[in-house]
Amino acid sequence: MRPRRKRWRRLAFALGDCAFLLAIGWLAVAAVQVTQSLPGSALLLSFLGMGLAMLIQMGLSFLLAPLLGSIETMTPSMVVAMFSPMVLEGIEMAGFEFIPSLARYFGALCGALMFGWMAAYAAACQRRFQRTCATHE
């Protein structure tokens, strides 16, 4: 594959990954908000919301797997769907109250942070395996 085409390809997939993680973060928080608006035990509704967030994440990952890759969609989005509502709940328990729309953007921010971390981790993995190769050669 020509280097220029390779670069565009890499950029397109990076944009796809980033948009997907932003959407998952946003939707995960929205799912928790929907369940928390229902009557019942707050703790139970939080767990229900997290379960719903995971279901949404799995469904969207399956849908996008043929385009973005199955492992590439499933693994990071699972972390985002699990952690963004948990982090938000933690912050709210510490006394900081988000307005609902801002909370959803916070979820999207978690997705963006995950994407940034993944890019850094990918570079670290490349370096680690290059070192492994160098020691074998």
Q: Which of 8, 51, 70, 100 binds other proteins (CB under 8 A)?
A: 70
For the bound state, the minimum distance from the C-beta of residue 85 to other proteins, rounded and expressed in Å, comes to 16
- Binders of other proteins among residues 117 to 136 (CB under 8 A) are 118, 121-122, 125-126, 128-129, 132-133, 136
Q: Which helix (H) or strand (E) holds 33?
A: helix 3-36
For the bound state, the minimum distance from the C-beta of residue 32 to other proteins, rounded and expressed in Å, comes to 19
What is the C-alpha separation between 74 and 42, in angstroms, rounded? 28
Please report whether residue 47 would count as binding other proteins according to CB under 8 A. Answer: no
